Structure 1
Amino acid sequence: MHIWTLENWKYNFTNIQSRRSGLRFRFTPDVNTEVRGACLKFGKWLRKEYFFPIRVPVYVKGKKYIKAMDGEMVYGTFFQPYNKTYEPYIRVATGSYTDNSITLGRDDALALILETIAHELTHYFQWINDIGLTKIGYERQASSYADYILDEYANVVDHP
């Protein structure tokens, strides 16, 4: 069972044909151009490999952190609306890319950002497929799938 290819969403959402689908990226002007390029390249590959039945925009910000709903400062968040007629969205902070690229190198710094996106997209697939786990279970599954997706992506690209 691969959560990204499950089709439980067909039973959870009515009138799916009238809804927008797909994965979209939106960038604030302060996002580094290398980060922007890597995200767009990753998004193109994701759209080719996986189906996103309900549109999920990924808002990529140039800040070091994003404030989550609970007030915690984090690198990424997934908003899952309680009302399933609304669209979810993801926010990702990329402001630490410059510092990370100096300490870790360009590829590893970009991989951290792509891993955050994959982690949050796993929460998207947990939401649309109505996966029931504990809070810790959700996070463990998201971390595990993020690593798996990045390994898949690493097999088809030389550099992020």
Structure 2
Amino acid sequence: MNSEVRRACLEFAKWLRKEFAFPIRVLVYLKKDDQIKNKFTKELVSATFFAPYDKQEEPYIRIATGDYMELLHELGKDDALASILNSIAHELGHYYQWIDDEELEEESAEDTADYIMGLYSDTRDHP
């Protein structure tokens, strides 16, 4: 894994743990692949959230980070890192939907990601 991606994700995770409640632990797996396969739809995607039926089981998030170098060349460092962090924030939107027994839907997850990323961007100049 790219060291800059790892650093940015660890810093983001540390901030998230200070700012948000996680009533059920959620693991975040950073994958070195460009895309990962959604276990249910079999689609190739950049991120997934596993929401177990039983809340005694831990949920988890998987994030593809293998396209960082491509994003770096296309978007620049800050936007490339922000793209990966936004994927984490989006999947956390699904986590909170799951915690609240809501239907997992994209628009609300995007709103949550925008909210989280807005708060985070106020705390630093660069991801």
- The structure whose Rg is larger is 1
Choose from 59, 63, 76 the match for 2:47: 76
- TM-score, normalised relative to structure 1: 0.77
Q: Deviations over 1:106-128 (max 9, x none)?
A: 00000000000000011011001
Aligned to 2:35: 65
Aligned to 1:106: 77
Q: How many residues align?
A: 126
Residues 14-93 of structure 1 mapped to structure 2, 5 A cutoff: 31-69=1-39, 70-93=41-64
- TM-score, normalised relative to structure 2: 0.96
Offset at 1:48?
Answer: 0.7
Aligned to 1:11: none
Question: What is the identity, as a one-letter code, of the residue corresponding to 2:81?
Answer: L
Choose from 101, 116, 122 the match for 1:149: 116
Choose from 92, 102, 109 the match for 1:131: 102
After superposition, the CA RMSD in angstroms is 0.9
Question: What is the identity, as a one-letter code, of the residue corresponding to 1:47?
Answer: R
Offset at 1:103?
Answer: 1.2
What is the percent sequence identity of the aligned residues? 56
SS in structure 1 opposite 2:115? helix
Choose from 66, 87, 98 the match for 1:95: 66
| Runs of 4+, deviation exceeding 4 Å | none
Q: Deviations over 1:37-63 (max 9, x none)?
A: 000000111111011111100000110
Q: Which consecutive unaligned segments of at least 5 residues does structure 2 have?
A: none
Q: How far apart, CA to CA, are the structure 2 residues paired with 1:151 and 1:101?
A: 21
Q: How far apart, CA to CA, are the structure 2 residues paired with 1:143 and 1:122?
A: 7
Q: How far apart, CA to CA, are the structure 2 residues paired with 1:88 and 1:142?
A: 16
Offset at 1:85?
Answer: 1.4
